Amino acid sequence: MPVRLWRKPLDAEKVKLPKAEIHILKNQCKGCGFCIQFCPKKVLEESEEINARGVHPPKVVDESKCIICSFCTSVCPDFAIFIVEKPCKEGC
Amino acid sequence: MAEGEIRIGVYVCHCGLNIAGSVDCKEVAKYAATLPHVVLAKDNRYTCSDQGQEMIKKDIKEHRLNRVVVASCSPRLHEPTFRKTCEDAGLNKYLFEMANIREQCSWVHLYDRKAATEKAKDLVKMAVAKAALLQPAEEIEVPITREALVIGGGVAGIQAALDLADTGYKVYLVEKEPSIGGMMARIDKTFPTMDCSICILAPKMSDVGHHPNIELLTNSEVVEVKGYIGNFHVKVLKKPRYVKSDCTACGECAKVCPVIAPNEFDAGLAIRHAIYTPFAQAVPSTYIIDMNRCLNKDGVIVCDKCIKACERQAIDFDMKPETIELKVGTIIVAIGADVFDPSVLPNYGYGKYSNVITSLEFERLINAGGPSGGHLIRPSDMQIPQRVAFIQCVGSRSDRNGRLYCSNVCCMNTIKDSLLIKEHWPETEIYVFYVDIRAYGKGFEDLYKRAKKEGVIFIRGLPAEIIEDRKTHNLWLIGENTLQNELYKVNVDMVILSVGLEPRKESEIIQRLLTLSKTQDGFFMEAHPKLRPVDAATGGIFFAGCAEAPKDIKDSVTQASAAAARAGILMAKGKVTVEAITPISYADKCKACGLCTKVCPYNAITLNKELKRIEVIEAACGGCGTCAAECPFDALTQNHFTDEQILAQIDAVTEYDAEKKIVAFCCNWCAYAGADFAGVSRMQYPSNVRIIRTMCSGRVAPKFIERAFAKGAAAVLVAGCHPGDCHYINANYHTKRRVERFWEKMEKNGLNKERLQLLWASAAEGERFASKIREMQTIVEKVSREEIESSKKVFEKALGGS
């Protein structure tokens, strides 16, 4: 379709995508970086801090971008990350 | 029959005053009678009339004519008519020849009767010279596959496919979008009846989906077309949907899909998910995954929400693109048109001011199924506007700001839109800024009157500029009312740009695949604007809808039914005859070098290495004659355009006053048609040009040019289709190569290479042809006696028999 799409869709606000709550168990992380690498929305990045295992665990850059695909949970070899959907209050 | 004495009958037509107005037809006929082999020469008012044709038939019998020459209009117009006349009288139709003294003589030399008459005599002489060498020929028959391909699934493609399928033919309908429906599916109401567009289209779409004779290929593109009329081999690339046809369109997948994107169908005014269906009535209703948006790339399933949500397990990320091979007899091109993108016009601020929208965006806003639920709201604050302005001709009727042509649909569309607003919100002030209101169709004027009665204000004169009030986002329109000679400054809440239509971007691909031609506007060109309006010049291909020119729904449907009928005629017959203009090879001269096999655009010639000779597949031959021009041993020539015939024409031109004449070789499809168009448009140009028609410029062998110069011609023109537009795929590239080599030869021999000109002119470029002749006239005037003599000497060898 040659029509140029430049407008913000009128219903962009109305469409509610689930909001994520990302939980990282920092001290369980061994710093493999899989979660950072495979996140399709680039929600995570390596943090500055050093955990109990002496590595940099991931940190959340922008939680609102997370779409709860939970691929990070699937690829984490150390069960150190999981996502829960934020309970929806007042139209979220 | 052609053996023995050659007896030619010449008929010089007055065409009322069309020819007789500037050519002395009696004198031409008298002159024709003196030419060798001519046993009879007559002039009459209308040779193409029944009486004219009857006279020819009678003469063929009474005077034992075995060749007929008619000097009248273009062979592109009436050659078939007179060929049939000859056949009816028992004369092989290939023994007929035409001299074009109307389009290429009387109409282009309206004010110089003497020169026009002289030229007409020459043209008749050329035709007679060729006629004497004509040979009877039999046409071979080719079977037609009784299946059709329709490219494009808009309303035109849908109608054409349904008509053909209902007639009983198998139809493949190829659509590049995920659903058929095209532009009509996006429109809210249709003019002038105000029917709901999708309500009348949806049943047709669903018929297509269920028809046993239609195979619907959506999300697919035609990537290769080979073959010829009746026998096209087509490759279609079917892109994966990633959803199997088990899909019940329940929509559970889209509900869970976490990716959102603007929906193209709603002009970006609504969102869709990465897995989606473009609109509720889509056919097929199967959902589709937009892989550019989906998170699962390169086979890694990151997100499996849709897979989990689908009860029918219809989602399949392993789907691969497929190439489908089809064998069809006819093709209908219904690819539609694009809409003009007004963001190139800075003065209207589209893309910058949020309340300036296009008519297509308006259609989605006013549509009850659209993003705003049918409430016309302005994007800046979602409020219903009180004052609305329409601006007409955005991208139309201006070669500076868009396209030169009128897009045909925008006036009525705006009138319809203004009435829709009045229907829902009668208090809205509506201004329409226009250049001319073109309400030409059935019921259009009534609708226009109704809009005026409802209080829509029509102001002649487009705004020069739109200025936005930064606080309110209201818009000021500034311009001149050209009816009242006063400036206006109008404040409105929203502006709707009535955008024009333009040729599809992809039309260039289709043009190349199907070897079609285009008009200057960029839309596909029909074989004849009046009498074959839906046929392409290439056999077996037809046009429907906006692919051919901007048109409304009614015209698109009409044309689609016409195209289906035309394709149906071919398929009902089941066979087609191939014109006997195929190559003739002389085995005794052939050295089996294989040059001809390399230049053939259709691979119709194969080299038999064992027998050391070539073999011609006549059914595959397109009839360009490029092979004949390439043969260095004169072992190959083209039926009906033999070396002898063309040389005889050259000799006839150059017999007298050669040093003042231009010998022009024009291809039948572009340059010759362009010269005809110059005639139809009465463009005047110098009368010293003599056109020799070949099917393709690729037929023009260097020896023809040599012969013309050897006989003392002042200049030679070789004219063909634009590169890439060749009617014979790529044959004109050989023309280019040969002419370039000829220029080198001329330079090497100290000749002025300007005397040989190469022109690419399409059938619509009459002015281009005419101005080339004018330009060459100045060259001819400069050519000196010595130059003529020296070129005569250089090419002396070409005078020997062919």
Compare all CA atoms of chain A with the CA of B355 and give the residue at the minimum distance: A7
A1: pLDDT strictly greater than 70: no
Chain A residues lying within 8 Å of B354, measured CB to CB: 7
**Structural domain contains residue B617:** yes
**What are the tens digits of pLDDT across the range B3-62?**
579 999 999 999 999 999 999 999 999 999 999 999 999 999 999 999 999 999 999 999
Q: How many domains in chain B?
A: 6
- Give CA–CA dist B606/B585, Å, rounded: 12
Average pLDDT over residues A33-50: 94
Whole-number pLDDT of residue B537: 79
Same domain, B798 and B694: yes
Residue from B297, B303, B354 to probe the interface with A (highest A Cβ count within 10 Å): B303
Residue where one domain finishes, among candidates B607, B637, B667: B637
User: What average pLDDT is seen over chain B?
Assistant: 94
Q: Reduce the secondary structure of B549-601 to three states and give it as a string.
A: CCCCHHHHHHHHHHHHHHHHHHHHHCEEEECCCCEEECCCCCCCCCHHHHHCC
Structural domain includes residue B508: no
Q: Give whole-number Cα distances, B378 to A15, B384, B387, B466, B629, in Å.
A: 20, 6, 11, 16, 65
The CA-to-CA distance between both ends of chain A, in Å, stands at 34
Q: Do B208 and B353 reside in the same domain of the chain?
A: no
- Quick one: B375 and B454 in the same domain? yes
The parts of chain B modelled with pLDDT lower than 50 are: 1-2, 802
- Do the strands B147-151 and B170-174 form a parallel or antiparallel pair, or are they unpaired? parallel
Looking at CA atoms only, how far is residue B296 from chain A in angstroms?
Answer: 8
Q: SS3 of B703, please?
A: helix
Please check whether residue B669 lies inside any domain of the structure: yes
Q: Check: CB of residue B67 under 8 Å from CB of residue B9.
A: yes
Instruction: Assess if residue B507 is contained within a domain.
Output: no
B491, two tokens: 């404040």
Of B138, B169, B184, the position where a domain reaches its end is B138
Domains contained in chain A, CATH given: 20-85 (3.30.70.20)
One domain, residues B425 and B562:
no
Interface touch B371/A67, C-beta < 8 Å: no
CB distance from B744 to chain A under 8 Å? Answer: no
Indicate which of A3, A42, A70 best probes the interface with B, i.e. most B CBs within 10 Å of its own CB: A3
CA distance B584 to chain A (A): 49
Q: Does residue B231 sit in the same domain as residue B290? A: no
**Is the pLDDT score of A2 beyond 70?**
no
Q: Measured between beta carbons, which residues in chain B are less than 8 angstroms from residue A18?
A: 258
Each residue of B564-622: pLDDT tens digit? Answer: 999 999 999 999 888 889 999 898 999 999 999 999 988 889 898 888 889 888 877 88
Q: Are residues B200 and B314 in the same domain?
A: no
> Among B213, B222, B240, which residue's Cα sits nearest to residue B175?
B222
Instruction: Identify whether B578 is part of a domain.
Output: no
Question: Are residues B431 and B540 located together in one domain of the fold?
Answer: no
Between CA B643 and CA B633 the distance in angstroms is 12
What pLDDT sits at residue A90? 54
Domain residue limits at B180: 140-239+321-336+513-573
Interface of B with A in 90-119 (CB under 8 A): none
Return the pLDDT at B516. Answer: 84
Task: State whether B658 and B631 are in the same domain.
Answer: no
Q: What single string gives the DSSP state of each residue in B62-87?
A: HTT--EEEEEES-HHHHHHHHHHHHH
Claim to verify: residue B756 and residue B654 sit in the same structural domain: yes
User: For residue A8, what is the nearest residue in chain B, using CA coordinates?
Assistant: B269
ipTM: 0.91
| Single pTM value for the model | 0.81
Co-location of B654 and B798 in the same domain: yes
pLDDT score at B527: 82
**Residue B750 forms contact with A (CB below 8 Å):** no
Name the helix (H) or strand (E) containing B216: strand B214-217
Could you give the CA distance from residue B409 to residue B553 in angstroms, rounded to a whole number?
9
Q: Hey, of B271, B353, B381, which one would you mutate to test binding to chain A, going by the most A CBs within 10 A of its CB? A: B271
Looking at B534, B551, B573, the residue that finishes a domain is B573
Same domain? For B561 and B651 the reply is: no
**B302: closest CA of chain A, how far (Å):** 6
Assess contact for B469 and B476: CB atoms under 8 A.
yes
Element housing B253 (H / E)? helix B252-256
From chain A, the residues in CB contact with B297 under 8 A are 40
| CATH value at residue B390 | 3.50.50.60
Read off the CATH number of the domain in which B607 is found. Answer: 3.30.70.20
Q: Check CB contact of B290 with chain A, cutoff 8 Å.
A: no
Residue B3 confidence (pLDDT) = 59
* B269, B363, B384, best to mutate vs chain A, most A CBs in 10 Å: B269
Q: Give domain status of residue B66, yes or no.
A: yes
Both structure tokens of B542: 């037809």
Q: Do A9 and B270 touch (CB under 8 A)?
A: yes
Nearest CB to B269; choose among A9, A18, A67? A9
**Which pLDDT value is given to residue B529?**
81
Residues B690 and B761 in one domain: yes
